[in-house]
């Protein structure tokens, strides 16, 4: 572009910025040594859809799907049963009956 250098017109290089660059999806513009460049975006859990039974957790700078750890608080058991943990899985098990639960004739 032309700029006046005191009283003399001179051609000078245009300084490009990120406003001059359109980056593809998944990347963003950053200035590197006075030049705009497209670089991959840092991903977060908002960018990742995890399958059922898992949730997203950040592993340093990388989002990862990890299994959801369920407990008895996450399970509603039907009447006559109660929740017990079977290793790492909550399960509904029948409540053992006692004489208090039985009416004898």
pTM of the entire predicted model: 0.39
- For the chain, the domains span 2-40, 54-94
| Residue 75 vs residues 54, 69, 81: alpha-carbon distances, Å | 16, 12, 11
pLDDT digits (tens, 9 = 90+) for 40-82: 888 889 888 999 888 999 988 889 999 888 889 888 999 989 9
Residues 6+ apart with CB under 8 A from 45: 56, 57, 58, 63
Question: What percent of the residues of the chain are helix, what percent strand, and what percent coil, each to the nearest 5?
Answer: 10, 40, 45
């Amino acid at each position: 572009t032309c700029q006046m250098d005191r009283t003399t017109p001179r051609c000078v290089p245009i300084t490009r910025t990120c406003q001059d660059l359109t980056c593809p999806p998944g990347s963003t513009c950053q200035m590197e040594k006075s030049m705009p460049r497209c670089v991959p975006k840092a991903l977060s859990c908002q960018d990742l859809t995890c399958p059922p039974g898992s949730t997203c957790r950040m592993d340093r700078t990388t989002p990862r799907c990890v299994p959801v750890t369920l407990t008895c608080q996450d399970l509603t058991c039907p009447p006559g049963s109660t929740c017990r943990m079977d290793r790492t899985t909550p399960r509904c098990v029948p409540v053992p009956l006692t004489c208090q639960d039985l009416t004898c004739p």
